[in-house]
Amino acid sequence: MSKPKIRVLIVDDSALVRQTLSDVLSSDPQIEILDTAADPFIAAERMQQEVPDVITLDIEMPRMDGLTFLQKIMTQHPIPVVICSSLAEEGAQSTLKALEYGAVDIITKPRVGSRQFLEEARVTLCQAVKAAAAARVRPIVPHLVEPKLTADSVLARPTRAMIETTDKVIAIGASTGGTEALRVLLEALPLDAPGLVIVQHMPEMFTRAFARRLDGLCQITVKEAEPNDTVIRGRALIAPGNHHMLLKRSGARYYVDIKDGPLVSRHRPSVDVLFRSAARYAGQNAVGVIMTGMGDDGANGLLEMKEAGAITLAQDEETCVVFGMPNEAIKRHAVDHILPLPAISSAIITHCRGEADA
């Protein structure tokens, strides 16, 4: 018996975008287009007749904006929603807000381009819809934002060298559901946390806004990585969308290299690329963390990290939006410890401090 197709409702005020999305998604034999709608009111009428498995949703639309419609969906009848955005940076904050409201992922609106671009867009779009169909849609619990510590409290904390050969590097990979999972993890880290390098599958331009948002929420500094950025205590570097990020080392200094290149494990940036570089240049000085996401990106790289002497952690199934990436790593015997999301940050700190005190 064949597996039922994933039924998708496309909501966008542009007829061209609706047609393009329909064509791209319909090219995958596992996906079918249930219907399209020019605005949320038409979408709501269609949903009364038949409930889709996944909704792709634009933000700026007539009569009702996408954020308002998303809140209504998640309150009245939670359905996996994928935000489809045109990637203007000025709109990135609204799109990131949609992830807080319960959207599963962000995808880029396909546009006319080279054959390679259109093929990559097809892979990305179809992967996002499949991940959404497999996602656990949960009510979003509002959280209070605590301000960063004052300058006095920062200066009062115990000091230690920022760059030394015994410093740990934390390499993290996440995909579907990772934006909120990373917020939970990073918010719990103290100011003197080891340096972090992070790959979150996210389109170009959004990673900068995402990093700025996290920087405003966390005690540590968070920024979109640039070529030659040093990995230092109290800072997280997030791979820029559409570019691979590699960890490198020069003497006692860890830094990142930003590269173009083909999709790796169907992604750019790829978690496998980051993890493999961490295995090579950090070895036992690294901690690898694989989190919620669809597919297997990062599973092989995490195994390489473990074989190089790194401690490896995976988010557990219960707290994942999609258990694909952690599960693949577990099946490859790449994981030392399987932990619920709230326990990962403390496990990182406990391990790194234990190593430093040993």
In CATH, what number is assigned to the domain containing residue 338?
A: 3.40.50.180
pLDDT range class, residue 89, cuts 50, 70, 90: low
Three-state SS sequence of 272-326: HHHHHHHHHHCHHHEEEEECCCCCCCCHHHHHHHHHCCCEEEEECCCCCCCCHHH
Rg (CA), the chain: 20
Residue range 114-129: mean pLDDT, rounded: 79
CATH number at residue 39: 3.40.50.2300
Q: What is the pLDDT of residue 118?
A: 67
pLDDT range class, residue 155, cuts 50, 70, 90: very low
My answer on whether 96 and 34 are in the same domain is: yes
Q: Which of 134, 165, 189 is the last residue of a domain?
A: 134
3-class state of residue 81 by DSSP: strand
Do 220 and 132 touch, CB atoms closer than 8 A?
no
My answer on whether 200 and 336 are in the same domain is: yes
Q: 209 lies in which domain range?
A: 151-357
Query: What's the length of the chain?
Result: 358
Token reading at 86: 């045109």
Residue range 239-248: mean pLDDT, rounded: 96
- Average of per-residue pLDDT values in the chain: 88
Strand partners, 200: 174
pLDDT higher than 60, residue 164: no
> Residue 194: which of 255, 235, 252, 149 has the closest Cα?
235
What angle, rounded to 10 degrees, do the helices at 324-331 and 299-307 form? 40
Q: Which of 105, 134, 163 is the last residue of a domain?
A: 134
Q: Is residue 275 in some structural domain?
A: yes
Strands 6-11 and 31-37: parallel
Instruction: State how many domains the chain has.
Output: 2
Q: Would the CA dihedral through 312, 154, 164, 198 be positive or negative?
A: positive
3-class state of residue 258 by DSSP: strand
Q: What is the pLDDT of residue 94?
A: 82
Q: Is residue 266 in some structural domain?
A: yes
Q: What is the pLDDT of residue 151?
A: 42
pLDDT higher than 70, residue 115: no
- The catalytic site residues sit at 175, 201, 297
